[in-house]
Structure 1
């Protein structure tokens, strides 16, 4: 929900609150304000200009030479490339020295030999999204529709000096999907009153019931339908103030009739629709369920095939609107419309959502019906629209409303005791303070001893139980004012569980290794659900997904980490080390809760190390990421139980990937992202790993023990072995350790060679061996005896020869 600060100030006094201060208070009261946009903050020098004359540029077919009055002593010459520029227009002009969005500075210039002292601007050049520009100005410069004065601030005339608060609303707070709803919220926070429009349209002698009749054949889907008729309207542009307020609210202006319905929608939160009454044709409105297979064309010129579970508005013969979603092209208001029927109704939210989803149509109206509108505003919104059409479109409002059905639900009454309230919040509030909070919310209250009963207005359909009242008191009392307490009782031990401590240890280790934590969705697409999965199963599908891209539960953390790395790379962050700990979900069969397992995963792209001063750069590789896993295992005392085996799972590089094993059982994978897949997501080289964190943390460990530093010197021997190319270094290392016995304390590979002077199908693997006796100094004879035993074992078990 985009909330215009200027528009909001029409309903509640916020003059002493800056937009940033107001946003902070709204957020602290429970509705998150994601950001405050100040459109004019990065612009200056934009004024209204009057085009006195326009002639063809002598040296360019697509340029015009204009003389423009910008409020100075003499008009200035501006070269303009817009097709729709002409003499007699009032336009927005960026004078020489002006700054446009993106720090674009306007300078005096020569275009094809003619001097240009400024720039005539389109709305897009003033920072307004193209999707919000009126259609007639979608291409070209904007013309002011009403009287303005050359030289005055164009940004103020366009309401670009406004502040836009972006509210992130949870589904239960549908009351804040309107300017009046937000005004009630702000008034409660600030302790002020709300000024609500009181529509009272002047009416003609003719009665609306003589022009149209309304019948509801599906009262369970549409309890009440109200129509008002406005005749002799003159369709044209709406006033600039209305157009700009709508654009600031994220709505595109069309014409005065349609803009009025959208204005009232944003003001009251009550969706309206305007029909061309003459095009309806029959003088009758019938609301019914659609017939199976019935078709009609919506406003977007798409033919829709309807089903019997969808609600339609008809003229008694054929559909003219899909109820609560979109109107039909056959009754659309157009430039020649004279008589208008205004629809204001209460539609069942579930049937609107089903139709919206079935046709892939999402509108401001459908969003509000789905979440719930205030039935008390249905008539008031209709009257407000009729009054505005009389004032802004020159229409005559016919006497009375045509009403079908009835829906006037009684406001809910919810009670709570002061003791229960204080017990839940840990506060010591008095009844007077609680009554004041509900008074600020404009809730009626009755007090009976320790109990307070609240009559909840219909606009707040989210309040139904005592806990809802507790929440209202808590957020307006101020979460910061609620005292901090610790749990009490003998059976409430503090601290982290061993598993939680292990998870925290793993996170701190990775962060110490240079990784940044990422948090991604558990929901993904069907394509990504099983990608990189350690255990591939049929993905778990959601019954009611928010979108196709979030329709399945993930089986691996890596696809989303890959997307995060790609997102960073596209923004010049080519070197990134990211990790995540989170759950994956494995299908256990139909109607069975999926199995939830915790994983830890990471991805590394670009440079692993960079020392600018030394001029050293080390790109990430397989061994760097493998070393990270070995270090993680070492933190949990599992080094000797960890091993790696070459593997080639789908999505990984077939020659640079290994399975990670704990006690010879697979617990994860580490390797390079397959180059073809890396290219698909615009990454260069990327190395990834994923481990079963729950298995890692729950593995049995020996008690931590320490060994004294040897007092006697060690002896090192290096050996280079010639073996078949298929023999793995890990296999050779295992043979060496087994044969070396207790004197052999360390073995590691330091070289692998394949090339010239090496027999076909062979390779050389070099190891460094360290021998130590903790009780005495080793002699060469003792070391030689053990070393010969190692070489013999290598020859017998791996057919390994010493390289000479």
Structure 2
């Protein structure tokens, strides 16, 4: 929230430098995210009065003006502003001035006529379009006659506009929503500085006409525990005075008119959102709070026709819905220049409903922000009365007698007790009761002291305090965290270590990075369509009750969907060679809403494009199934399972290519799958041919592993032999490998399949496989006869088992 230091001075006598004030707030209350003056580096911008306006001889849209800028002679300004006229009080950027964005203004000729500066709009001196009262296209800024009569030409315009004010941007945490108002912020700073607080006052003058004779209201206590109305008649809609506009735009709110501006002013002052209806455009004069009807349509103040959700709160007149309660008003009862009678609404709405409507309609307003976090219920109707009094003052209205109150819950102030012994024990201090009592007085908390126990009555403005620990925190804040004594922890220390599961996860990440994949971290929440893809487990994804966006509605059932999004992101930016992995959790519902979903650790990887070259002498190769299979095989080898690992073809993974997908088994346990992403799925993700795997790490952690498989490096050389065989196409390479291992003997150390061939000179139902066999004996050097004997056993076994032909 933006905080005007000039406005704070209405409450407190602040004498210390602003940077010191910011430091104290940051150390004691909330973070200060920024500190600035809106004027920035601008200079030499003054108030001027237009003396005359003459047509430009060589332009049909420019005029030549003479302006009084407090100097001995008038200054000639050439401008194309459509709204300039004699007698106006305007803003002049003189020759040599600096305006927004550091632009320097120099005298120059416009169509042959010399101009000694520029008449400016607010946007040209740093005002954002969101806060400037008038659009830039409407022309230069012109002061209201009422404000202009007190302005002297030549006066610093930046000071007049409030741009020399110091502004603090506070980062409000959810528990300190009381500081979303100037009143709440002033209470906090008064406590920090130990200053006396002066609250704003107002004079409410009512007519004899009763409000209850003009309008009625109804609100269920569950939806709106506080709901009240006031009526102000015979108002004259116009621009607000400059002092009010300055306060609004300094705090980041755009001035609209003297009625709407007052409601926004009360929102900033009290933290209490208000709304103004045009009394005469109400379809009926009985307002009530209800939930929305099915498919109910409401056109909001931003001109958008919106469909209300069934849980959204609606303010209705008769049967017609007018606005989203606590979020945004409706266009049909908007206060316009033709409005003469207004209805002011003040309420406290049920926070959950406001949060739902704001997210459902994507309307996160200043009002909804405060209703979601909480408001000071003790001042809800005080803000209503203050607004009515100020509107009557600024718009010349008449306030009818009394409020119409549909709901006013009884407020029971929390009473919290805390003992001095507990305070000093928790904080490690030796504070006295007198010191602690002083802190409670600074906070303006009513209290009683009996023996060593304080009984504190918590005011409604501090709804974040409810237990003794909260009071101890308040004492610590005002005492100063820097003043708390520091001690070393006492107690036995134990060395930290990783659990077996943590070791497995860390080793998995190291192995995959060593194999050339880069780690990615994806969102856990995704769309319902993606949440149903690549599932390894039975069970449904978990639907969020209040998703932040349409793309983050459900928990993921697979890590692959996030990785494919990452691949698509890279491919869209011409990064076509991608190799990624991710380790994280998937979430599976057990079908019982009263139980937490299962959180299962998974690891997944994707590769696409070209794979890295084996050496600088060889070019990179396009990835294929076997490139990824090699990575997964090495990862599985590093796990050192006691049971054998095998890959079994499958066509039951609908998002994977049915001809290039296999389930991964350790013994008889399926731990995951590997294969090519189905071309239709790849097209939906807008990616090229991509290969992927996903495995269940929690399941892997339960499987037996041989973690002591180290062997001494032999001093004797190895001997390699190549073996090429012709077998039927249906024979799997895994079966052949098993047969070779069985027949190869104890000296067979490694088997590598280095070639698969089908085509010319090979029968259509056959395939040629070429293996490199490596033999080694750690005790001695092998001789040819021993190798030949082993190879002969292997060839006989293959011929017998698979009808293999040796090539």
1:771 aligns with 2:775: yes
C-alpha contact 2:236 2:395 (8 A) present in aligned 1: yes
C-alpha contact 1:270 1:373 (8 A) present in aligned 2: yes
Deviations 1:551-578 (A, max 9, x none): 3332123323444555577678877765
How many residues are treated as equivalent by the alignment?
785
State the match for 2:384 in structure 1.
382
State the match for 1:785 in structure 2.
789
| 1:12-23 pair list within 5 angstroms | 13=14, 16-18=17-19, 22=22
State the match for 2:184 in structure 1.
181
Q: Which moved more, 1:783-792 or 1:230-239?
A: 230-239
C-alpha contact 2:235 2:398 (8 A) present in aligned 1: no
| 1:117-132 pair list within 5 angstroms | 132=130
Deviations 1:20-52 (A, max 9, x none): x948964x668567x549797998799689997
Q: Which moved more, 1:86-95 or 1:447-456?
A: 86-95
Q: Label 1:795 to 1:11 Cα distance change in 2 as closer, same or farther (>3 A).
A: farther
1:715 aligns with 2:728: no
**Structure 1 SS opposite 2:746:** helix
Deviations 1:475-529 (A, max 9, x none): 6667785857658479x88544333343344445556667666555543332222
Q: Give the Cα separation in 1 of the matches to 2:643 and 2:155.
A: 80
Deviations 1:392-416 (A, max 9, x none): x432453764253544513211112
State the match for 1:273 in structure 2.
275
State the match for 1:587 in structure 2.
589
Q: Give the Cα separation in 1 of the matches to 2:650 and 2:41.
A: 58
* Equivalent position to 1:373, from 366, 375, 383: 375
| 1:329-340 pair list within 5 angstroms | 329-340=331-342
| 1:74-153 pair list within 5 angstroms | 132=130, 137=135, 143=141, 145=143
C-alpha contact 1:199 1:380 (8 A) present in aligned 2: no
State the match for 1:523 in structure 2.
525
Q: Give the Cα separation in 2 of the matches to 1:728 and 1:54.
A: 93
Q: Label 1:104 to 1:671 Cα distance change in 2 as closer, same or farther (>3 A).
A: farther
* Equivalent position to 1:743, from 744, 747, 752: 747
State the match for 1:465 in structure 2.
467
Q: Give the Cα separation in 1 of the matches to 2:348 and 2:364.
A: 18
State the match for 1:601 in structure 2.
604
Q: Which moved more, 1:628-637 or 1:453-462?
A: 628-637
> Deviation at 1:597?
1.5
Q: Give the Cα separation in 2 of the matches to 1:763 and 1:24.
A: 80
1:236 aligns with 2:255: no
Q: Which moved more, 1:594-603 or 1:770-779?
A: 594-603
Q: Label 1:767 to 1:40 Cα distance change in 2 as closer, same or farther (>3 A).
A: farther
Q: Label 1:220 to 1:251 Cα distance change in 2 as closer, same or farther (>3 A).
A: same
**Structure 2 SS opposite 1:256:** coil
1:557 aligns with 2:548: no
> Deviation at 1:745?
0.8
Q: CA RMSD in A?
A: 5.5
| 1:446-457 pair list within 5 angstroms | 446-457=448-459
Q: Label 1:259 to 1:751 Cα distance change in 2 as closer, same or farther (>3 A).
A: farther
Q: Give the Cα separation in 1 of the matches to 2:137 and 2:683.
A: 37
Q: Label 1:93 to 1:76 Cα distance change in 2 as closer, same or farther (>3 A).
A: same
Q: Label 1:640 to 1:17 Cα distance change in 2 as closer, same or farther (>3 A).
A: farther
**Structure 1 SS opposite 2:259:** helix
> Deviation at 1:652?
4.1
| 1:162-201 pair list within 5 angstroms | 165=169, 167=171, 169-170=173-174, 172-185=175-188, 190-193=192-195, 195=197, 197-201=199-203
Deviations 1:120-159 (A, max 9, x none): 99888988776x3669528676745556979978799585
Q: Label 1:285 to 1:200 Cα distance change in 2 as closer, same or farther (>3 A).
A: farther
> Deviation at 1:715?
0.6
Q: Label 1:294 to 1:619 Cα distance change in 2 as closer, same or farther (>3 A).
A: closer
Q: Label 1:606 to 1:141 Cα distance change in 2 as closer, same or farther (>3 A).
A: farther
- TM-score, length of structure 1 as denominator length: 0.77
Q: Which moved more, 1:750-759 or 1:376-385?
A: 750-759
Deviations 1:306-352 (A, max 9, x none): 989966454x7966556444444443211111233322233444565
Deviations 1:44-98 (A, max 9, x none): 799689997787997xxxx9667799999986878x8x9x676779589899998
Deviations 1:415-451 (A, max 9, x none): 1234445555667666566555545544333333343
Deviations 1:353-412 (A, max 9, x none): 677678776544344334432111113322432344345x43245376425354451321
Q: Give the Cα separation in 2 of the matches to 1:142 and 1:768.
A: 85
| 1:301-450 pair list within 5 angstroms | 302=305, 312=315, 314=317, 323-349=325-351, 363-390=365-392, 393-398=394-399, 401-402=402-403, 404=405, 406-421=408-423, 431=433, 434-435=436-437, 438-450=440-452
C-alpha contact 2:233 2:400 (8 A) present in aligned 1: no
Q: Give the Cα separation in 1 of the matches to 2:345 and 2:215.
A: 12
Q: Label 1:435 to 1:151 Cα distance change in 2 as closer, same or farther (>3 A).
A: closer
Q: Label 1:504 to 1:326 Cα distance change in 2 as closer, same or farther (>3 A).
A: same
Q: Label 1:240 to 1:592 Cα distance change in 2 as closer, same or farther (>3 A).
A: same
**Structure 1 SS opposite 2:417:** strand
C-alpha contact 2:39 2:158 (8 A) present in aligned 1: no
Q: Give the Cα separation in 2 of the matches to 1:214 and 1:474.
A: 48
C-alpha contact 2:172 2:180 (8 A) present in aligned 1: no
| 1:645-664 pair list within 5 angstroms | 645-647=648-650, 649-652=653-656, 657-664=661-668
C-alpha contact 2:5 2:165 (8 A) present in aligned 1: no
**Structure 1 SS opposite 2:386:** helix
- TM-score, length of structure 2 as denominator length: 0.77
Q: Which moved more, 1:104-113 or 1:254-263?
A: 104-113
**Structure 2 SS opposite 1:409:** coil
State the match for 2:737 in structure 1.
733
Q: Which moved more, 1:546-555 or 1:448-457?
A: 546-555
**Structure 2 SS opposite 1:742:** coil
Q: Which has the larger radius of gyration?
A: 2
**Structure 1 SS opposite 2:557:** coil
Q: Label 1:196 to 1:264 Cα distance change in 2 as closer, same or farther (>3 A).
A: farther
| 1:619-638 pair list within 5 angstroms | 626=629, 629-630=632-633, 632-633=635-636, 635-638=638-641
Q: Give the Cα separation in 2 of the matches to 1:610 and 1:122.
A: 62
**Structure 1 SS opposite 2:745:** helix
Q: Give the Cα separation in 2 of the matches to 1:328 and 1:791.
A: 86
